[in-house]
Structure 1
Amino acid sequence: GMPRRYSNYPDLLVSWNIVSSIGSMISLFSVILFMIIIWDSFTSKRLMIFNTNFAMIEWIQNFPPMEHSYSEIPSILNK
């Protein structure tokens, strides 16, 4: 971090102060954009793009799966 409580920085630290300030602005912009995306996802009523049937074996088991849930590896049969 940059040293605090100094009235002026040495000329050697000016470039690092600029880099730190740019990084702070990028972080601020990212948080604002994240909040806008979250707000938009709650307020908009969009249709689902992928409306698949979640009846495959991966979706049937509990999450997280219980320890030692299977005595053997489940077999998958073709229809």
Structure 2
Amino acid sequence: SMISLVAVLSFIIIVWEALVVKRTVMFSLFLPTSIEWQHAYPPADHSYMEIPMITNY
């Protein structure tokens, strides 16, 4: 029971610290570039003539 108490207290402290501290997002420059965010999921059957490719404009 003492181990469970320590584990629960540690969990509460970790969750509280994660919610209170405002850290900056690392590598936010390339977050929305995956193709899953640009197309519907799941894709319709036979919706592409070839595999889609992401290009830089």
The ranges of structure 1 where at least 4 consecutive aligned residues each deviate by more than 6 angstroms after the TM superposition are: none
| Residue equivalent to 1:55 | 33
2:8 partner SS: helix
State which structure, 1 or 2, has the greater radius of gyration over its C-alpha atoms: 1
Distance change in 2, residues 1:61/1:78 (3 Å): closer
* Structure with more contact order per residue of length (Cα contacts < 8 Å, sep ≥ 6): 2
2:33 partner SS: coil
CA deviation map 1:44-78 (0-9, x unaligned): 1111123142122022245xx24xx2324633266
Q: How many residue pairs are counted as aligned between the two chains? A: 52
**For structure 2, which runs of at least 5 residues remain unmatched after alignment?**
none
RMSD: 2.7
Identity of aligned residues (%): 31
TM-score by structure 2 length?
0.54
2:28 partner SS: coil
